Amino acid sequence: MSTVNIKSSHHKTQSHWGGVFAMTLCVFVLIASEFMPVSLLTPIARDLHVTEGLAGQGIAISGALAVITSLTISRIAGDLNRKYLLLGLTILMAVSAIIVALAASYSVYMLGRALIGIVIGGFWSMSAATAIRLVPQHKVTRALATFNGGNALATVVAAPLGSYLGATVGWRGAFLCLVPLAIVAFIWQCLSLPSMESDNARKPQGSVLGLFRVSIVSMGLLACGLFFMGQFSLFTYVRPFLENVTRVSASGLSWILLAIGAAGFIGTTFVSTFLNSRFYPTLILIPLLMSAIAGTLLLFGHSMWIVAVLLSLWGMLATSAPTGWWTWLARTLPEDAEAGGGLMVAVIQLSIALGSTVGGLIFDSLGWQSAFGLSGLLLLGAVVMTFHTSRLT
């Protein structure tokens, strides 16, 4: 398998930045859709006559469907033009929002959430492969950073926007507000994306899990998985930590969460510069600094100002890291970026689920110090594995 081959047959000179920005809008709507229920769980649960825990499963089901889709979409789509596949996923995103908004029962609500999971899995699986097709090789990192900027912005605004819309137009209205945005993204993609014929005709089929046999791929994905496990074993429990340990007020909590999100957006804006000049050192430094932050939080968890600064730095590093890993994928597997992208989405989603679950069990049983300590150790593991990956290049 001629996988680790940096020269891509899609090496091109023409840039389609309009397509990149159209996809970034799509990413923004997608991430906003994925996390919209977080701030609306109480009214959703009340309206559908279920517990908040059951309403929260709407996020779990989208994650599960994202994993399944990411591993199968390359095979299922076959020779379909990738432009039409992306447009189809954008329509499905609008349909999902409509189904959730009009859901009269819990099962219909979960159907709508399952559909958004399919879009998440499909869209992220193809992001690296699409970036390679839209811009020349040396601008792929910037294109991926732009996609991730849409992700970062949505992460910042989804929860506060969701709660604001929930209070003004109700939770159903909040989901309906996503529909016109999805339609704009669809029209913009129609106009700006070039035709993207499938590569499957010249590629052996069924090679998604086969990619694990390439040592740099298995080593890199393990590093990536450890990174996301480490990140979410701490970050999932930032709110209870701030409320019970740092003892911030409700407004203080909002400001710190906003600072984390804003710092993350700044991080994604500048990370491509560092990745282009010193790729692996940047990829190694991010989890190393985050591990140091986790350790420092153990010492200064009771000081609000120190915690606010540390968590803002965490946000800047953590939000910019996915750009690094998607760039790694585009560089390592330019000929197999679609299959590799599917594998990457599966690894990331499973690592987030595993990290937040194990982190939560430890947080509840052994206390926040143990959960934050685990996060630091997992991130150090990511440093070691990323270093070994760089030696294989």
Model confidence pLDDT, tens digit, residues 154-189: 877 877 788 788 889 999 999 999 999 999 999 999
| C-alpha closest to that of 100 among 62, 138, 127 | 62
The region of weakest confidence among 15-19, 210-214, 219-223, 319-323 is 210-214
Calpha distance 112→105 (Å, rounded): 11
- Paired tokens of 144: 């991926």
Please name the amino acid found at residue 42.
T
Considering the chain, what percentage of its residues have pLDDT values greater than 90? 60
Q: Does the pLDDT of residue 224 top 50, yes or no?
A: yes
**What number is the average pLDDT over the span 100-115?**
95
Calpha distance 291→293 (Å, rounded): 5
Please report the pLDDT score of residue 58 as a whole number. 84
**What number is the average pLDDT over the span 365-389?**
97
- Paired tokens of 334: 């330019």
Please report the pLDDT score of residue 199 as a whole number. 65
Place of tokens 């999100």: 261
Q: Does the pLDDT of residue 205 top 80, yes or no?
A: no
Place of tokens 């996020």: 59
Residues whose CB is less than 8 angstroms from the CB of residue 131 and which lie 6 or more positions away in sequence, other chains included = 20, 140, 143, 144, 147, 326, 330
Q: Does the pLDDT of residue 125 top 70, yes or no?
A: yes
pLDDT digits (tens, 9 = 90+) for 136-153: 989 999 999 999 888 888
**What number is the average pLDDT over the span 242-258?**
87
Residues whose CB is less than 8 angstroms from the CB of residue 317 and which lie 6 or more positions away in sequence, other chains included = 267, 286, 289, 290, 293
Q: How confident is the model at residue 207 (pLDDT cuts 50, 70, 90)?
A: low
For 120-262, list the strands marked E by DSSP: none
Please report the pLDDT score of residue 8 as a whole number. 40
Q: How confident is the model at residue 4 (pLDDT cuts 50, 70, 90)?
A: very low
- Paired tokens of 360: 């939560």
DSSP secondary structure letter of residue 278: S
Residue 189 near residue 23, CB atoms below 8 Å: yes
Residues whose CB is less than 8 angstroms from the CB of residue 373 and which lie 6 or more positions away in sequence, other chains included = 294, 295, 298
Query: pTM for the full model?
Result: 0.84
Q: Does the pLDDT of residue 305 top 70, yes or no?
A: yes
Residues whose CB is less than 8 angstroms from the CB of residue 5 and which lie 6 or more positions away in sequence, other chains included = 334, 335
The region of weakest confidence among 56-65, 265-274, 286-295 is 56-65
Question: Could you tell me what percentage of the chain is helix, strand and coil, using 3-state DSSP and rounding each to the nearest 5?
Answer: 85, 0, 15
3-class secondary structure, 364? helix
Please name the amino acid found at residue 360.
G
Q: How confident is the model at residue 279 (pLDDT cuts 50, 70, 90)?
A: very high
**What number is the average pLDDT over the span 286-310?**
97
**What number is the average pLDDT over the span 193-213?**
70
The region of weakest confidence among 96-105, 241-250, 276-285 is 241-250
3-class secondary structure, 163? helix
Calpha distance 113→55 (Å, rounded): 10
Place of tokens 């429990």: 237
| C-alpha closest to that of 17 among 186, 137, 146 | 146
- Paired tokens of 364: 């509840």
**What number is the average pLDDT over the span 34-60?**
85
Q: Does the pLDDT of residue 301 top 80, yes or no?
A: yes
Calpha distance 99→86 (Å, rounded): 20
Calpha distance 260→252 (Å, rounded): 12
Please report the pLDDT score of residue 200 as a whole number. 56
The region of weakest confidence among 2-6, 17-21, 353-357, 384-388 is 2-6
Residue 10 near residue 149, CB atoms below 8 Å: no
**What number is the average pLDDT over the span 339-359?**
89
Please report the pLDDT score of residue 10 as a whole number. 45
Q: Does the pLDDT of residue 2 top 70, yes or no?
A: no
**What number is the average pLDDT over the span 1-24?**
66
Question: Would the CA dihedral through 261, 67, 321, 126 be positive or negative?
Answer: negative
- Paired tokens of 266: 């700044």
- Paired tokens of 93: 């995103």
In total, the chain counts a number of residues equal to: 393
DSSP secondary structure letter of residue 181: H
